[in-house]
Amino acid sequence: MEYLSTIGILIAIYVILAASYNLVIGYGGLATVAHPIFFAIGAYVSGLLAIHTSLPPPVTVLVGAACAMLASLLLAASALRVSGDYLLIASLGFQLGLLQLIKNLEFTGGPGGLGGIPATIVGPARTPAYLVIAALLAIATVFAIRALVRGPYGRAITAMRDEELAFTALGRNAMSMKLVIFAIGCGIAGVAGGLYAFYFQYVSPDQFEVLQSAAILTMVVLGGMGTAFGPVVGAVLLLAIPQAITFLQLPPSIMAPMQGIIFTVLVLVFLFLRPAGIMGHAGRRRRTAGLT
C-alpha cells in the first residue's frame, strides 16, 4: 500500500542519514550539526541535473553525492585547522548560510522549492521498485559502515578519536583521517538526498533546517551512538512512532508538540541514564565509540 511504502522509503532514507551521521559523529568523534545540508546538496544537485539534462538517475545521484563530499571537504578543511569545537559552529553556519543561498537563487526554485523533478519509473511498479532500491541502499550503507569500523581502519579511527595525541605521536595523520571520514559520511548523505529527490519529485529548503539536524541527532543518540544498528533503531522509532500516534486521533494542537516533547525527553533521559543508547552496551567505561 502506498502509504506504508512511502513510510518505508522514508525510513530507509533516514537510516542512511542516521548511519552516515553516526559514522561522522559517533565513530569519527567530529561534532557537527550540518548533516542535513549534505542531504540537501545531494537532493538539489541530482534534482537539477534530472530536470535540465538527460543523464540517467544513478549518475545524477552519484554526482550529487560527489558534490556533497566536495562541500564537506571544504568545510572540514577550513574548520578543523582551528579546532574540533569550531567545526560545530562552522557546520551550523555552513548549513544555514547555504540554505539562505538556495532560498535566494532562482534556478533552485528559491524558497518555494524545486518541483517538477521528472518521474523516472512510471506505472504501478513504481513504489515497490523504489522501496526495494531504498531498502538495498540502506542495508548496504549500514553493513558497509559496520565493515569499515570493524576492520583495521576502524581501530585506527577509534585510536584517533580516543587518544589523538598518542595517535599523532605514532606518526598517523589525524587530520586526513578526519577529512576522509567526514567526506564519506557526507557523501552517503548526498546519496540519500538523490534518492529522496527522485521518489518525491519535490525538494523544499525548509526540510533541511536545524530541526532536521536535531531529528537525525535524536535518531543516533537514542539508537546508540557508535553502534552499527543503533541508527536503524533510531530511524525506525523516530519515523514510525509519530505516524502511529496520528492514528490515535488526539487533538492536533497537542499532538505535534507532544511528539516533540516525547522525543526530547527521551533523548535527555538517555543522555543521563543510558548514554549508550538503545543498542549500546550499558555502563560508562567503554573502549568503543559513543557518548560519555
Partner 1 sequence: MPLTGAQAGYGNDFVTGMRMAVKDVNDAGGIAGRPVELVTLDTQAEPQLGINAVNRLIGVEKMPMVLVAWSSVVKAVAPICNREKVLEINTGANSPEIATLGDYVYTAFPLAEVDITKLAQYVYQTLGKRRAAVLYINNDTGIDAAKLYRDTFTKAGGQVVAFEAYDPKATEFTGMLLKTRAANPDVVHLHGLTADTPQVIAQMRQLGLTQQITTYSAGYNPKLIEQCGPAAEGLIVTSLAPGVQENANVAPFLERWKKEVGRVPNGLPYVQYQYDMIPLAKALYDHVDKKGQPATGDTLRDALVEIRTFDLPMTGKMVIDGHRVNKPVYLLTVKKGAFVPLATLS
Partner 2 sequence: MLDPIILAQILWTGIATSAPYVLLTAGFALTLKVTSLWNFAQAGLMAIAFYAMFFCLNVLAWPVFAAIGAAVVLTGAAALAVEVWGLQVLRQRRSGNLTFFIFTLILSEFVIYVITLLFGTEPQTLFKSILSPVAIIGNIAVSDWDKLAVATAAAGLAALWLFMTRTREGQFLVAVADNAKLAELYGISAQRAYRVVAVIAALFIVGAMYLVGSHGGIVPNTPMELVLTAVIATLLGGIGRVFAAAAAAVVLALIQSFSILLIASRWQNLLLYGFLFAAILLFPRGVRVPRLRLAGARR
Contact residues for partner 2 (CB under 8 A)? 25, 29, 31, 33, 78-79, 81-82, 84-86, 88-90, 92-94, 96-97, 100-101, 104, 210, 214, 217-218, 221, 253-254, 256-258, 260-261, 264-265, 267-268, 271-272, 275, 284, 291-292
Nearer of residues 111 and 151 to partner 1, judged by Cβ: 111
Q: Residue holding cell 506504508?
A: 4
Nearer of residues 204 and 288 to partner 1, judged by Cβ: 204
Minimum distance of partner 2 from residue 89's CB (angstroms): 6
In residues, how long is the chain? Answer: 292
Task: Choose from partner 1, partner 2, none: what does 171 bind? Cβ within 5-8 Å by kind.
Answer: none
Minimum distance of partner 2 from residue 232's CB (angstroms): 20
Minimum distance of partner 1 from residue 26's CB (angstroms): 25
Task: Choose from partner 2, partner 1, none: what does 79 bind? Cβ within 5-8 Å by kind.
Answer: partner 2
DSSP-assigned letters across all residues of the chain: -HHHHHHHHHHHHHHHHHHHHIIIIIIS------HHHHHHHHHHHHHHHHHHS---HHHHHHHHHHHHHHHHHHHHHHHHTT-HHHHHHHHHHHHHHHHHHHHH-TTTTGGG-B--PPPSS-STTHHHHHHHHHHHHHHHHHHHHHHHHHSHHHHHHHHHHH-HHHHHHTT--HHHHHHHHHHHHHHHHHHHHHHHHHHHS-B-GGGGSHHHHHHHHHHHHHH-TT-SSHHHHHHHHHHHHHHHHHTT---HHHHHHHHHHHHHHHHHHHHHH-TTTTTSPSSS--SSSS--
CA distance 110 to 133: 29
Nearer of residues 101 and 132 to partner 2, judged by Cβ: 101
Task: Choose from partner 2, partner 1, none: what does 89 bind? Cβ within 5-8 Å by kind.
Answer: partner 2
Q: Give 203's strand partners.
A: 114
Give the interface with partner 1 as residue ranges (CB under 8 A).
1-4, 6-7, 10, 103-104, 110-113, 115, 119, 126, 200-202, 204, 206-207, 243, 246, 252-253, 255-257
Minimum distance of partner 1 from residue 207's CB (angstroms): 6
Nearer of residues 46 and 213 to partner 2, judged by Cβ: 213
Nearer of residues 3 and 272 to partner 1, judged by Cβ: 3
Minimum distance of partner 2 from residue 33's CB (angstroms): 8
Task: Choose from partner 1, partner 2, none: what does 82 bind? Cβ within 5-8 Å by kind.
Answer: partner 2
Task: Choose from partner 2, partner 1, none: what does 267 bind? Cβ within 5-8 Å by kind.
Answer: partner 2
CA distance 129 to 274: 39
